[in-house]
Structure 1
């Protein structure tokens, strides 16, 4: 049997999907498993369980419906697949799966996808994202999955640095420059370990402003814009801990086995917190009537007060407990 999985398009979601791939292997131990990943986050695949094929989709090179169809046909010419699982619930993922010619195509109902998939189900409400993916497999295979973990394989040795990530794609989940300066300064006062500030190239200007505003920069490395995904994985996997907003690096560190303290603004931690409970601590204000919201931009305040009002000394104290 050959199985093809269309992985999610966001870093954090793709990390959480590794549990699906592991459980797929446990359910069909003789099967050969391949994946479709979005270009830009495909650097995560070497840390996944072993795969037969890795198909990398670049929307810029394969634009529109014609590009989706052509890419699916390319996959069909490479290998015949018995099963296709669509973890994203987009129409484009279903079109791609249909074009592969896979005998059974499985996914959640959305955007009129039922005509393209052979087995569709209603997405469960209120569960964790990892469980949403796994329910798809449980319903199709008719078995209950156990011993679920989100685990990325690596061999990086542990070092003594602490990584700090104050970024997020959404304004409602990102610290302001002033709050980030306050938090990093408090962390620098209370811990002796080297600190590493991380951020993607598009976040470099923001992190540079935070770094420039720090009253003391000794022992703080501004690595924003200097690491690709592989480099970020090495920094996170070898860290003593990660202090972070709700973002892709939070899920990445948690799956690499690094203790992770996550500051939640917008977003519901019951749905999207890092999955491995023994390796993460969630910090939430829990004082505002609008918490938790799912907005990408704060609609109640000029800046997200659910993050602004968090106590920096209290955050550092919780991080120190995680380090112990």
Structure 2
């Protein structure tokens, strides 16, 4: 209990949330939230940012994030007022550091006179010292035992739902949850030239993932796409420019039987276009990836392919609109290393064998069919 009191910074518990909800801070009008990383990382933080926005009405919320975050915020309606792109900094935004540029960034941030800075970027080994240099009156965030302390800190343990972890941090800042998962709306409409109005439904597939071990084989996605096309659905394969070969291969494999109903649009959409497409489609099928999280945030039903460890951290909480297919493999197929140990507990081996390739196509397709039949986005509804 003594450690808990120390972490709370002496604040009293005033409500309940994912964890304790502590007393609110006084005089909060400017809030900075630190969350680097990719698309999914941003979406994990959105519920916590929405909670902060509700707890401190009228406060301006600045996300310290990455270029993809800035693009998503511009393409959606949500709780973030503005994005300031992070400079390259070890453990916060990987890249070639520019010491003079970093100093300039922190000088500008201190001039913002933030009342509250919230760290949602990992265990704090690098992100807590970064946050402290902002000069905010109050600081809240996560902390491993070797990280610098903040005014109020939540213990960081790897296997925890990322949105719920962020909400626990928001609770320490005095902000109870208003949503457990991200909710966004598109700010632009879809290019109608993408849509085949003759099709019964629009299914979007994303076969990519940052970690190749999280990727279901293209052949499996192609089988699902071909079956959906045979049912009269239009199928669009999405991805960024680096995923274009994978998306095109998936589309080619699927289009053998239904060439007019399946095609790749990978590398052809900007973030605003992807947002509009995901907000319009009937169902999305994807690996554990940023676009799947984005579809979920936009209210679109999803079928996700997951390694079991990532189910804990990143899967949708509900099953009415979102289905999860999990692989329970715990060892690398090539070398046998325990893949459940991550980060500081064990090094990652050099192998990229898929951990999810054994997930059955029939089970995934049946979930796509079921969600398509009930989707709020089915044509004519």
Distance 2:172 2:95 in 1: 35
2:102 pairs with 1:102 = no
2:64 pairs with 1:24 = no
2:197 pairs with 1:164 = no
1:318 is aligned to 367
The 8 Å contact of residues 55 and 176 in structure 2, kept in 1 or not, is answered as: no
Distance 1:27 1:192 in 2: 47
Cα distance 1:94–1:63, how it changes in 2: closer, same or farther (>3 A)?
Answer: same
Aligned residue pairs: how many?
318
Distance 1:275 1:43 in 2: 26
Distance 2:318 2:228 in 1: 25
Note the C-alpha offset of 1:91: 4.2
Distance 2:265 2:348 in 1: 28
Note the C-alpha offset of 1:103: 1.2
Note the C-alpha offset of 1:261: 0.6
Note the C-alpha offset of 1:262: 0.5
1:152 aligns with one of 184, 187, 209 = 184
Identify, as 1 or 2, the structure richer in helix: 1
Cα distance 1:65–1:20, how it changes in 2: closer, same or farther (>3 A)?
Answer: farther
2:82 pairs with 1:82 = no
The 8 Å contact of residues 144 and 156 in structure 2, kept in 1 or not, is answered as: no
1:9 is aligned to 37
Note the C-alpha offset of 1:139: 2.4
1:307 aligns with one of 356, 360, 369 = 356
Cα distance 1:45–1:269, how it changes in 2: closer, same or farther (>3 A)?
Answer: same
After TM superposition, list the pairs within 5 Å mapping 1:59-74 onto structure 2: 59=88, 63-64=97-98, 66-74=100-108
The 8 Å contact of residues 265 and 307 in structure 1, kept in 2 or not, is answered as: yes
The SS at the match of 1:70 is helix
The 8 Å contact of residues 212 and 352 in structure 2, kept in 1 or not, is answered as: no
Cα distance 1:211–1:253, how it changes in 2: closer, same or farther (>3 A)?
Answer: same
2:186 pairs with 1:186 = no
The SS at the match of 1:114 is coil
Distance 2:279 2:109 in 1: 33
Distance 1:202 1:29 in 2: 40
After TM superposition, list the pairs within 5 Å mapping 1:1-324 onto structure 2: 1=28, 2-46=30-74, 47-59=76-88, 63-64=97-98, 66-77=100-111, 79-89=112-122, 90-110=124-144, 112-114=146-148, 117-124=150-157, 126-141=159-174, 144-154=176-186, 156=189, 160-189=201-230, 191-214=231-254, 215-216=256-257, 217-265=259-307, 267-275=309-317, 277-286=319-328, 288=329, 290=331, 293-294=339-340, 303-304=353-354, 307-324=356-373
Note the C-alpha offset of 1:205: 1.5
The structure number with the bigger radius of gyration is 2
For residues 130-155 of structure 1, the C-alpha deviation after alignment (integer angstroms, 9 at most, x for no partner) is: 110111121232x6435434101226
Where does structure 1 lack aligned partners over 5 or more consecutive residues? none
Note the C-alpha offset of 1:299: 7.0
For residues 74-104 of structure 1, the C-alpha deviation after alignment (integer angstroms, 9 at most, x for no partner) is: 2223x21111001102444334322321111
The 8 Å contact of residues 303 and 368 in structure 2, kept in 1 or not, is answered as: yes
Cα distance 1:134–1:213, how it changes in 2: closer, same or farther (>3 A)?
Answer: same
What RMSD in Å do the two structures reach over aligned CA positions? 3.2
* TM norm structure 1: 0.85
The SS at the match of 1:322 is helix
Cα distance 1:165–1:105, how it changes in 2: closer, same or farther (>3 A)?
Answer: same
